[in-house]
């Protein structure tokens, strides 16, 4: 017993202060929201788009990066001869609307007013129980969702909790590209959640298929099967990005 | 039989084409002589009715790999499984991908539930009907007080999907059968024709928590096929990233094991400390899972003195936290009582099933690719092989703790004496008509990648073996005659990957 108490003293109190205090420090090499400087682009150059493994970077009138498809590998940044693309350490990536995930040269990230609308906010704002479904997720997304339950992040203090049954849940948090073999499982789980319900998709796979875009064995994410209330980009999203998205959804930030 | 070392490419022509029975005799004899089958897989040929079968054998005593191949004409081949049980799942996979029927296979079922790559189907299912996962025969036990518990695919936690069926007599489990395939994303099929911009991202997401090990295996295949010399500095950094991945996962597992027996101090501390190690990987490359760290020809991110110094400081702090948190477990008799003699996997069975990684070492098998088939910096800095003899949950937990300590020592050594020079070399085009094998020791065990190139130097076949592929059967065995309530604990002591298995 004494050793348990001594260990408690040694380990200290480590729960992060965010959102009341500052967020935990992110490493300098962290790849968050990309930024595009169109002034540096050379006409006819497609180096960034050609380097992109998932087609997230497109070059039409301007360069656009779809964070919903982006693996944050920065292959586009490395390929650009003019250094027009840089990945900033901005972790605030989540958005209510799919089109808000598109980064353009003169657009400053997703809008920050991402809170649920009237009735939903009244119902879920102070207590949100989520059922997580991994529909082909490689376990990196799942692992960094699990992290939110550790003492360092303590998601429970915001009234958000992951529950064992869809019958106990207010909504789903989906990861993975929705494999053919998980499609039925996902649909049945969604049907088992009582109305009104919300759907959150986390990670490039769940938004667009990620590295598995257009594979016959996957379905390019959840979007076409259900309305989505929150998109959290990343491969996988950093726990801080997920927490930030969830708190914005509930109007806490 | 052609002999090669880990990370070497050979000409396809050098691999003699054996008759099917000679192939079987060589593989079975080698296994009886103490070798292990690292991979057994099919490959298409120019003639649709002919399928080649390759086997990669590991000779741990001599640091060598042996490759043999044969050809199957038509849609049947004699099963090797009755003589050599460790290939049972390889043969099922081969049958599912190429529509071949292994005659005499004792429990012949699909593995991932998908249509075959050929027009044949080994189970004679109609061509156009969808294949539903988990729809197959399961063992059944009948009698008084006998009942069946079915779980999944969606489990209770934040975890990947799979379907488990327990045949129980009261609390006692007679048999557990595991049906996977829900995560199947078609990776091996998509790699054919590569490498291309997406190939390395498949390697990085094969199993999210094993990003570094799979990416190293993938990159070493490319380096072997293009005769690229990886700089020593890159080797050291790869070793550091691989051991950080091991420590983070092992620490997380020890916390999760403590959580499953309700011992909350270790559970809460280890949950957080795991994050400290993930953050060290992020300090190296920006990603907690090592995305972007390993690249063909070396590493994607170099280090400077300040970063090394910061890493060493962080490791010192995390080592102390880990040691305090984990030692609480060993010092608490009530916690130990829940670990000891639970979920035993005897050495004889582990050997027969071809179990790898900490699960094998906890059953007393001293196999570890870092010392058996060393590559990169492991050729110069040896990590002791941590074994235990009990083969139970305690053994698997304790082996993890031993490995955490050895890995920390290794990382310190590597960082303090990091070779100078560049951290990445250019990589050229791949040689045509070659086969390359790359093996490394991921935190769950042996990760094996085999690539075969066509006459243009493109992948005509890419085989991936995640340690989970071998070890799920070990978990099923360990559950025999246990209480069903001990399943979470046994499951966590193996902590296998669904995605790594399903590919």
The answer to whether the Cβ–Cβ distance between B205 and A210 falls below 8 Å is yes
B-chain residues within 8 Å CB-CB of A50? 197
With contact defined as beta carbons under 8 Å apart, do B122 and B101 qualify? Answer: yes
Of A138, A146, A150, the CB nearest to B272: A150
Task: Look up residue A170 and give its DSSP letter.
Answer: S
The C-alpha of A136 sits at a distance from chain B's nearest C-alpha, in angstroms, of 4
The arithmetic mean of pLDDT across residues B12-27, rounded, is 92
A-chain residues within 8 Å CB-CB of B271? 147, 149-152
Of A4, A132, A235, the CB nearest to B291: A235
Tokens representing B501 are 């298995």
With contact defined as beta carbons under 8 Å apart, do B350 and B358 qualify? Answer: no
The arithmetic mean of pLDDT across residues A79-88, rounded, is 91
pLDDT at residue number B258: 95
pLDDT at residue number B144: 87
pLDDT at residue number B481: 94
The arithmetic mean of pLDDT across residues B446-474, rounded, is 96
Whether residue B185 has pLDDT greater than 90 = yes
Q: What confidence tens digit (pLDDT) does each residue in B227-264 have?
A: 888 899 999 999 999 999 999 999 999 999 999 999 99
The arithmetic mean of pLDDT across residues B153-180, rounded, is 93
Q: How far apart are CA B156 and CA A165, in angstroms?
A: 7
Interface test with B, best of A181, A200, A206 (most B CBs within 10 A): A181
The answer to whether the Cβ–Cβ distance between B157 and A162 falls below 8 Å is yes
The arithmetic mean of pLDDT across residues B213-239, rounded, is 94
Give how far Cα B320 sits from Cα of A7, A152, B408, Å.
11, 17, 11
pLDDT at residue number A112: 60
Q: What confidence tens digit (pLDDT) does each residue in B373-409 have?
A: 999 999 999 899 999 999 999 999 999 999 999 999 9
pLDDT at residue number A120: 87
Q: How confident is the model at residue B287 (pLDDT cuts 50, 70, 90)?
A: very high
Task: Look up residue B483 and give its DSSP letter.
Answer: B
Give how far Cα B239 sits from Cα of B210, B216, B252, Å.
14, 9, 20
Whether residue A108 has pLDDT greater than 70 = no
Q: What confidence tens digit (pLDDT) does each residue in A200-220 have?
A: 999 999 999 999 999 999 999
Contacts of residue B304, Cβ cutoff 8 Å, sequence gap at least 6: none
pLDDT at residue number B35: 93
Whether residue A111 has pLDDT greater than 70 = no
Whether residue A107 has pLDDT greater than 90 = no
If one compares A117 and A160, the residue with the highest pLDDT of the two is: A160
Q: What confidence tens digit (pLDDT) does each residue in A154-186 have?
A: 999 999 999 999 999 999 999 999 999 999 999
The C-alpha of B24 sits at a distance from chain A's nearest C-alpha, in angstroms, of 33
The answer to whether the Cβ–Cβ distance between B197 and A53 falls below 8 Å is yes
The arithmetic mean of pLDDT across residues A91-98, rounded, is 91
The answer to whether the Cβ–Cβ distance between A29 and B283 falls below 8 Å is yes
Q: What confidence tens digit (pLDDT) does each residue in A10-47 have?
A: 888 888 888 888 888 899 999 999 999 888 888 888 99
Closest residue of chain A to B324, computed from CA coordinates: A7
Cis peptide before A190 (omega within 30 of 0): no
Q: What confidence tens digit (pLDDT) does each residue in A120-157 have?
A: 888 888 899 999 999 999 999 999 999 998 888 999 99
The C-alpha of A104 sits at a distance from chain B's nearest C-alpha, in angstroms, of 23
pLDDT at residue number B6: 92
The answer to whether the Cβ–Cβ distance between A10 and B289 falls below 8 Å is no
Q: Which residue has the tokens 């008084």?
A: B144
Q: How far apart are CA B295 and CA B286, in angstroms?
A: 14
Q: What confidence tens digit (pLDDT) does each residue in B291-327 have?
A: 999 999 999 999 999 999 999 999 999 999 999 999 9
Cβ-defined contacts of A46-52 (< 8 Å, 24+): A47/A76, A47/A79, A47/A80, A47/A81, A48/A76, A48/A77, A48/A79, A48/A80, A48/A84, A48/A85, A49/A76, A50/A79, A50/B197, A51/A75, A51/A76, A51/A78, A51/A79, A51/B197, A52/A76, A52/B197
The answer to whether the Cβ–Cβ distance between A71 and B201 falls below 8 Å is yes
The answer to whether the Cβ–Cβ distance between A217 and B269 falls below 8 Å is no
The C-alpha of B5 sits at a distance from chain A's nearest C-alpha, in angstroms, of 30
Chain A / chain B CB contacts < 8 angstroms:
177
Q: How confident is the model at residue B342 (pLDDT cuts 50, 70, 90)?
A: very high
Q: How confident is the model at residue A110 (pLDDT cuts 50, 70, 90)?
A: low
The arithmetic mean of pLDDT across residues B475-483, rounded, is 95
Of B112, B159, B182, the CB nearest to A182: B182
Give how far Cα B244 sits from Cα of B247, B248, B267, Å.
5, 6, 20
**Phi, psi (deg, nearest 5) at residue B392:** -105, -175
The arithmetic mean of pLDDT across residues B13-35, rounded, is 92
Closest by Cα among B358, B352, B385 to B370: B385
The answer to whether the Cβ–Cβ distance between B272 and A152 falls below 8 Å is yes
B-chain residues within 8 Å CB-CB of A152? 271-272, 275
């Amino acid at each position: 017993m004494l050793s348990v108490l001594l260990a408690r003293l040694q380990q200290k109190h480590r729960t992060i202060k965010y959102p009341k205090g500052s967020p935990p420090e992110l490493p300098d090499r962290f790849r968050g929201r990309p930024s595009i400087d169109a002034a540096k682009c050379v006409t006819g150059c497609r180096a960034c788009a050609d380097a992109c493994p998932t087609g997230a970077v497109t070059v039409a009138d301007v360069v656009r990066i779809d964070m919903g498809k982006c693996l944050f590998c920065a292959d586009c940044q490395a390929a650009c001869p003019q250094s027009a693309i840089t990945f900033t350490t901005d972790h605030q990536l989540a958005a209510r609307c799919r089109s808000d995930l598109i980064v353009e040269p003169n657009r400053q990230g997703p809008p920050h007013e991402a809170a649920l609308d009237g009735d939903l906010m009244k119902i879920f704002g102070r207590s949100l129980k989520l059922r997580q479904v991994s529909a082909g997720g490689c376990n990196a997304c799942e692992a960094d969702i699990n992290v939110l339950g550790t003492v360092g992040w303590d998601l429970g203090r915001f009234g958000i909790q992951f529950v064992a049954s869809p019958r106990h849940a207010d909504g789903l948090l989906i990861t993975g590209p929705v494999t053919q073999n998980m499609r039925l499982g996902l649909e049945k789980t969604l049907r088992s959640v009582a109305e009104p319900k919300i759907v959150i998709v986390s990670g490039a796979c769940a938004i667009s298929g990620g590295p598995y875009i257009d594979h016959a064995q996957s379905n390019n994410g959840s979007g076409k099967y259900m309305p989505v209330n929150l998109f959290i980009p990343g491969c996988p999203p950093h726990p801080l990005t997920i927490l930030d998205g969830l708190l914005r959804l509930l109007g806490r930030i | 039989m052609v002999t090669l070392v880990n990370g070497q490419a050979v000409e396809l022509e050098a691999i003699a084409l054996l008759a099917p029975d000679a192939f079987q005799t060589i593989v079975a004899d080698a296994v009886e002589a103490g070798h292990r089958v690292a991979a057994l897989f099919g490959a298409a040929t120019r003639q649709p009715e002919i399928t080649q079968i390759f086997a990669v054998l590991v000779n741990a005593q001599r640091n060598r790999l042996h490759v043999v191949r044969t050809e199957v004409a038509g849609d049947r081949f004699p099963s090797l499984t009755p003589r050599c049980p460790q290939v049972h799942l390889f043969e099922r996979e081969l049958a599912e991908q190429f529509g071949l029927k292994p005659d005499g296979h004792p429990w012949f079922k699909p593995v991932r539930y998908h249509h075959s790559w050929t027009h044949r189907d080994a189970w004679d299912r109609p061509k156009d009907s969808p294949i539903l996962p988990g729809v197959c025969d399961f063992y059944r036990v009948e009698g008084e007080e006998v009942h069946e518990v079915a779980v999944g695919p969606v489990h209770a936690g934040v975890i990947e999907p799979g379907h488990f069926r327990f045949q129980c007599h009261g609390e006692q489990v007679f048999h557990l059968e595991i049906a996977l395939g829900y995560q199947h994303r078609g990776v091996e099929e998509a790699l054919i024709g590569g490498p291309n911009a997406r190939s390395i991202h498949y390697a990085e997401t094969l199993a999210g928590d094993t990003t570094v090990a799979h990416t190293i295996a993938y990159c070493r295949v490319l380096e072997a096929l293009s005769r690229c010399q990886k700089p020593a500095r890159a080797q050291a950094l790869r070793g550091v990233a691989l051991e950080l991945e091991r420590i983070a996962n092992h620490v997380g597992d020890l916390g999760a094991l403590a959580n499953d027996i309700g011992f909350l101090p270790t559970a809460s501390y280890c949950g957080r400390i795991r994050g400290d190690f993930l953050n060290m990987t992020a300090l190296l490359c920006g990603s907690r899972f090592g995305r972007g760290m390993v690249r063909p020809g070396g590493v994607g991110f170099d280090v400077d003195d300040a970063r090394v110094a910061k890493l060493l400081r962080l490791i010192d702090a995390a080592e102390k936290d880990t040691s305090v948190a984990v030692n609480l477990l060993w010092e608490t008799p009530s916690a130990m009582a829940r670990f000891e003699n639970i979920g035993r996997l005897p050495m004889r069975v582990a050997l027969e099933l071809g179990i790898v990684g900490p699960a094998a070492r906890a059953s007393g098998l001293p196999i570890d690719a870092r010392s058996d088939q060393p590559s990169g910096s492991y050729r110069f800095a040896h990590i002791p092989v941590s074994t235990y003899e009990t083969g139970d949950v305690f053994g698997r937990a304790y082996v993890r703790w031993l490995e955490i300590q050895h890995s920390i020592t290794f990382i310190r050594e590597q960082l303090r004496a990091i070779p100078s020079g560049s951290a990445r070399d250019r990589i050229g085009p791949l040689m045509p008509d070659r086969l390359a094998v790359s093996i490394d020791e991921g935190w769950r065990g042996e990760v094996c990648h085999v690539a075969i190139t066509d006459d243009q130097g493109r992948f005509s076949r890419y085989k991936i073996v995640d340690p989970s592929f071998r070890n799920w059967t070990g978990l099923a065995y360990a559950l025999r005659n246990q209480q069903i309530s001990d399943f979470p604990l046994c499951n966590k002591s193996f902590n296998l990957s669904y995605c790594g298995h399903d590919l």
